[in-house]
Chain A
Amino acid sequence: MIDLVNINKTYPSATPLHVLKGINLHIGEGELVSIMGASGSGKSTLLNILGILDNYDTGEYHLNGTLIRNLSETRAAELRNRLIGFVFQSFNLIGFKNAMENVALPLYYQGVSRRRRNELALEYLRMMGLGDWADHYPSEMSGGQKQRVAIARALIARPKIILADEPTGALDSHTTQEVMDILRRVNREQNMTVIIVTHEADIAAQTDRRIHIHDGRIESGAFRG
């Protein structure tokens, strides 16, 4: 599903910052992996590249068989929309849209009709146990509920991978477990590839594979087994 070959990334400045130093990584379909690393290790940059939010300098990144390289903003937006579901630490829901509209948003950009996408959004909200909360706005919800809305939004376009960036970072231990259970369930039941970036060992422990990144290099877990 994901193939990174010798990816390098440098942030140009007066003192250029070589952030990723030859990353090789393979993640297969249906895997549940975690990426761990201290801040400054390059894990955010890696996540941005995986999510087609940022470019890399050299190397090759194949996502679902497509070479991701020097894409136009428009093409990148299309691929993000169809291939990747994002879950963020700070939820990143749109405040003036209710839960259903938030979940339906990716389908809006695919040109799906309002009725159809609202139907689907409701279905996904129910799957997350939030069927009664469709009309509520993010400000009326708890952190755990908001993250479940975000997961529904990530899933609705039927992406190939879920990229979760510290998905439990803003949650208490009880809701953290709820969210992890959902992500595991999605992985298991839909055979969805799920990548969780975290610095919490007990979160990483619940994934099938732990990828450690340190100082721009992968220390362990680059390949299965």
Chain B
Amino acid sequence: MIDLDFFAEIWETIRRNRSRSILTAFGVFWGLLMLIILVGVGTGLNNGLIKGLQGVPASSLYFGTDHTSLPYKGFQKGRRFNIDNDDVDALRREFSDVAEYISPINFVGSNKFSVGDRAGDYQLVGITPDYFHTMPLALDMGRTLNVNDIRERRKVCVIGRRMYDELFPGEPDIAGQLIKAGSVYYQVVGVIHRLSDNINIGFNADETLMMPITTAQLNYGQGNTVHFMSLSLRDGYSMAGHQDRIIGLLKQRHIVHPDDPTAFWSFNVEEIIGQFSMLFGGVNILIWIVGIGSLLAGLIGISNIMLVTVRERTQEIGIRRALGARPSTITRQILSETLLLTFAAGIGGLLIGVWIISAVGSFMASQPPSAEPSLMGPPQIPFSVAVAAFIILILGGLLAGWLPARRAMRIKAIDALREE
């Protein structure tokens, strides 16, 4: 008996109480709108950070030296020192079974580079091929560095996107072209760009010229110095057990007190990701509590108003019962009315929420990339969340209609007709 008449009846009663229906439905509309917007913003924040760490192996440790704060074996505190190529070899030997990438970096500093009459100041770093596996970078053209470049101290380089834009504007292929630094020429083999504007480890790769660490150490008087490095473990290994062993080995090699808190700085990506996840877990729970809470408030409003409606319609329902309406017919009518209200309001909230989210998303996408680096990605609504919100809505609507429907069902014709 679900037919046009049935919907006409429901529509009729909703229409008759138009302002009341709209006001109550607004509660549900607002609840769902809030839920969608909150989830959208939360997802955007999450994505922003996740995108920032994209390309960094999760089990990575970045570390470098600072100064000692404990005297040890005749050395006074406050000593500064550097790790070097020998340390890198020692780490390679010691951790060969678990380490996937070991990436030493020599940070030469700012240098002037020129191509023809174009020139500019950029960072210069010495790296190894592993560097490209441990950073959120993408290759735009050419290749990255290889072991032969390192072994033969080749005068080759990979440059950042910004550098390419400024020194080689619009050139389709610059592999093999030369960049002049002082009196030395370096051959460009590739161009890279950062995947995320938000995260730099050590330097901004977009504005940097990267050459083999061996070449950098030789040409810029760096000896065998390594300024900082990263070590990434193979899949399935956690940094948790290895961090102390790595730093411990280096402390031992440099005669540093095993408990010295400041001699080495380190940055455990796993830990950072863990902290982010916890933060987002918390934010997410909060979002759902607030979102579901406002949705619930709306649903309670609808339930309440339906109870009032049922009371007001007692006589009408009684007449219908006397004329042959089954209890199930009445129940279905009240339930459908509630569902229709909930549904219309919810769909409205869902659509407008998604519309706002996508409008904000495309606005953010149209902004010039990152004058200010921000951790906020464009807000998004995962499809699963939209579906979940929808299911919650339907269940909530049924729940909200249940009490009024039950009350309506209990109305007997005889009670209603007595009310005169």
Q: A: which residues have CB within 8 A of B?
A: 48, 51, 53-54, 73-74, 77-78, 80-82, 86, 88-90, 92-96, 105-106, 108-111, 114, 153, 157
A105: B residues at CB distance < 8 A: 320, 323
Given A74-B327, A78-B324, A153-B323, decide whether A53 and B5 contact each other with a Cβ distance below 8 A: no
Contact between A88 and B323, CB atoms less than 8 A apart: no
Q: Chain A's nearest CB lies how many Å from the CB of B178?
A: 86
Alpha-carbon distance A157/B323, docked complex (angstroms): 10
Closest to A163 in B: B322
* B118 CB, nearest partner CB in chain A, Å: 81
Q: Are B327 and A73 within 8 A (Cβ)?
A: yes
Tell me the minimal C-beta distance from B19 to chain A in angstroms: 16
Compute how far the CA of A105 lies from the CA of B5 in the bound complex, rounded to whole angstroms: 11
- A117 (CB) vs chain B CBs: closest residue: B5
Min CB gap B319→A, angstroms: 5
Given contacts A90-B420, A92-B319, A96-B16, whether A109 and B324 have CB atoms under 8 Å apart is yes
| 5 A-B pairs with the lowest CB-CB distances in the bound complex, closest first | A81-B324, A109-B324, A53-B414, A77-B326, A74-B326
Is there contact, CB below 8 Å, between A108 and B5? yes
Q: How many A-B residue pairs have CB under 8 A?
A: 61
Q: Mark B313-343, 1 if CB is under 8 A from A, else 0.
A: 0011001111111111100000000000000
List chain A residues, Cβ under 8 A from B320: 94, 105, 109
Contact residues in B for A106 (Cβ distance below 8 Å): 323-324
Choose from B5, B16, B325 the contact partner of A114 (Cβ within 8 Å): B5
B413 within 8 A of A: yes
**Contact residues of B with A, CB < 8 Å?**
1, 4-5, 12, 16, 315-316, 319-329, 412-414, 417, 420
Question: A159's closest neighbor in chain B, by CB?
Answer: B324
Expressed in whole angstroms, the Cα–Cα distance for A88 and B414 within the complex equals 12
Q: In the assembled complex, how far is the CB of residue B16 from the closest CB belonging to chain A, in whole angstroms?
A: 6
B116 to chain A, nearest CB (A): 85
Distance of B236 from chain A, by nearest CB (Å): 64
Extra contacts besides A80-B324, A86-B322 (14): CB < 8 Å: A53-B322, A73-B326, A80-B322, A81-B323, A81-B324, A82-B324, A92-B319, A92-B417, A94-B319, A94-B320, A96-B12, A109-B325, A109-B326, A157-B324
Contacts of B413 in A (CB 8 A): 53, 80
Please report the C-alpha to C-alpha distance between residue A82 and residue B323 in the assembled complex, in whole angstroms: 9
With a cutoff of 8 Å between Cβ atoms, the chain A residues found around residue B327 in the complex are 73-74, 77
Would B12 and A54 count as touching, CB distance under 8 A? Answer: no
Which A residues are in CB contact (< 8 Å) with B324? 77-78, 80-82, 106, 109-110, 157
Closest to B419 in A: A90
**CB closest chain-A residue, reference B327:** A73
- Nearest chain A CB to B321's CB is how many angstroms away? 6
Whether the pair B1, A111 counts as a contact (CB closer than 8 A) is yes
Can you list 20 contacts pairing A with B, beta carbon distance less than 8 Å?
A53-B413, A53-B414, A73-B412, A77-B321, A77-B326, A77-B327, A80-B323, A80-B413, A82-B324, A86-B323, A88-B417, A92-B319, A94-B320, A106-B323, A109-B320, A109-B324, A109-B329, A111-B1, A114-B4, A153-B323
